[in-house]
Structure 1
Amino acid sequence: MTLEQIDYFICAAQSRTFFDAAETMHISQSSLSKQIMKLEKELELTLWDRSKRTAVLTPAGEFFYKEALKISRQYHRSMEAVSHFKDSESLTLHIGTLPFLSQYHLTSVIHSFCAAHPELSFSLKEVEDQELLSGLEKNLFDLIFVRKHMLDLKLYTFHVLTEDRLVAVLPKNHPSASKKTVSLTELKREIFILMPPHTSIYRFCMQSFHDAGIHPQILRTARAESIVSAVEIGEGISLLTESSFQLFRQPSLAAVPINGLEKLSVGVAHKKNMALTSSAECFLQYVKSHI
């Protein structure tokens, strides 16, 4: 027994003839008759008295008609409730991000989006690399702000917002400080202070060293603000994104781009096999048009 058969039966019971019911349901009269006969066969009941000129409901048919109305009403109430739930879901937005919003001027964009869409329940969570990707995979986030090189592009769609690059952070009296660019090979004998190992920038640096055939001497790891202070007092040099250096730059330091490396693309990502909610699509288009 299907809901379609129940709807056909109800329509037939409420119409003067099977012909009128078929016209209402936009099917042929023979198709309507076949579906009602299948229903009778499954129920093992005769629902229609066909001995008269116009088919009328049998007592069993009268009883089933009342039950069919209950089933149909419950079905449509359930579908309406599900629809309200889906609408509610579409008004929630869960965003994950690396801790880099301020350096790419994203904080103000997010604030203005929320002000423009007060109807949305907006959630923003700042996490590190592994938690960010895990959260997207587990559907904890609708969208994430991420660096492109962190993603498997077979699994995720990436929308670039801006480009960054790796720079060598050097004291201004360093021999390479006045150069327009510098290679990793030129810096291979230096002592490095790098970002923490759980960050994508650390992994990007280590992969770049590996590709260049360099085994770097790493003194320690630290956050960007601590790195800038350490380079300033002569503990070593560092590799940072240019945007990070701009946040914490000091007059005594220079930032020289590393040549031969791919750009560090920053953007928004989502799973390829999952359709975006209307809220997520709205947010994505807003961010893309305001960066």
Structure 2
Amino acid sequence: MDIQKLKAFVELTETNSYTETAEHLFTTQATISKQIMSLEKELGIKLFSREHRTIEITDEGELVLEYAKQIVALKDEMYEKISEHKREHSLDLVIKTIPSISNYHALELISEFHQAHPEITLHLSEAESYELIPALQNGSADAVFMRIFDMDESEFEVASGEEDKFVVVVPKQHRLAGQTAVTMQDLKAENFLMLGKETNLYDPVMKLINQAEFTPEVIYEGR
């Protein structure tokens, strides 16, 4: 029995839409339809009733669904265990970093480590900041380089290598350009260009602004 047919069946029971199911499984609506029909033929039952362009699971389909979910879940668990076993018994090192890693000394350390240990296969890739902690938690990364603000460090071993500071960037002719220090109150009437909410730099900046008790005029959010 093709596991993909069961996966399509389980997904279709959740979406009740061939179009959405195809999108979720990165295939076509026609492929999903063929997989369901093939599964019905293989099992000798009707999994769905199709009346008035609506999809409704049959009693026989409900019976199959219970087992299909278990089979799909076990398949995913098996592949996860295999990947975990490979990682534990191989000399692969997976490191994920923030996109601006080139601005930090960490990149030099990684390069030096790679040259000193050619026996280890290094997999280095960039990821958005919100993806890094989940990568550690689900085992898809062995180590990450990221910025730390108010993170609970009890779950991980953390080594701080460098320290960043927030700065304000203004045009040379701006009224604040000649000052050696700027307070948040000085910026109350200014337009803000900031990194977006999906980055982990947004909340700390907003926290400083909230402490200064004003609502910023954000005219641009970027990544």
User: TM over 0.5, yes or no?
Assistant: yes
Superposed, 1:197-216 pairs within 5 Å as 197-216=197-216
Q: Which structure is larger by alpha-carbon Rg, 1 or 2?
A: 1
Structure 1: which 5+ residue stretches go unaligned? 1-83, 224-291
Distance 1:197 1:181, change over 3 A: same
Distance 1:168 1:87 in 2: 45
1:148 equivalenced with 2:148 (yes/no): yes
The corresponding residue for 2:117 is: 117
Letter in 2 for 1:148: I
Letter in 2 for 1:194: M
The corresponding residue for 1:174 is: 174
Name the one with the larger strand percent.
1
How big is the shift at 1:198? 0.8
Letter in 2 for 1:201: L
How big is the shift at 1:86? 8.1
Distance 1:127 1:166 in 2: 22
Distance 1:105 1:211, change over 3 A: same
Do 2:96 and 2:141's aligned partners in 1 also have CA atoms closer than 8 Å? yes
Do 1:195 and 1:221's aligned partners in 2 also have CA atoms closer than 8 Å? yes
The corresponding residue for 1:185 is: 185
The corresponding residue for 1:217 is: 217
The corresponding residue for 1:4 is: none
Aligned length: 139
Distance 1:115 1:186 in 2: 48
Structure 2 SS opposite 1:186? helix
How big is the shift at 1:85? 6.9
The corresponding residue for 1:51 is: none
CA RMSD between the two structures:
2.1
TM-score after normalising by structure 1: 0.45
Structure with greater contact order relative to length (CA < 8 Å, sep ≥ 6): 1
Structure 1 SS opposite 2:149? helix
Do 1:97 and 1:125's aligned partners in 2 also have CA atoms closer than 8 Å? yes
How big is the shift at 1:187? 0.5
Letter in 2 for 1:206: M
Distance 1:87 1:206 in 2: 41
How big is the shift at 1:209? 1.2
Letter in 2 for 1:88: H
Do 1:148 and 1:158's aligned partners in 2 also have CA atoms closer than 8 Å? no
Do 1:150 and 1:200's aligned partners in 2 also have CA atoms closer than 8 Å? no
How big is the shift at 1:97? 0.9
Percent of pairs with identical residues:
32
The corresponding residue for 1:99 is: 99
Structure 2: which 5+ residue stretches go unaligned? 1-84
Distance 1:219 1:203 in 2: 17
Distance 1:114 1:215, change over 3 A: same
How big is the shift at 1:212? 2.1
Do 1:97 and 1:145's aligned partners in 2 also have CA atoms closer than 8 Å? yes
Distance 1:106 1:124, change over 3 A: same
Letter in 1 for 2:188: K
Superposed, 1:1-291 pairs within 5 Å as 88-89=89-90, 91-149=91-149, 151-223=151-223
Do 1:192 and 1:216's aligned partners in 2 also have CA atoms closer than 8 Å? yes
Do 1:192 and 1:217's aligned partners in 2 also have CA atoms closer than 8 Å? yes
Distance 1:87 1:186, change over 3 A: closer
Letter in 1 for 2:115: A
Q: Deviations 1:114-134 (Å, cap 9, x if unpaired)? A: 111110011112101221111
Structure 2 SS opposite 1:161? coil
Letter in 1 for 2:112: S
Do 2:130 and 2:200's aligned partners in 1 also have CA atoms closer than 8 Å? no
Structure 1 SS opposite 2:213? coil
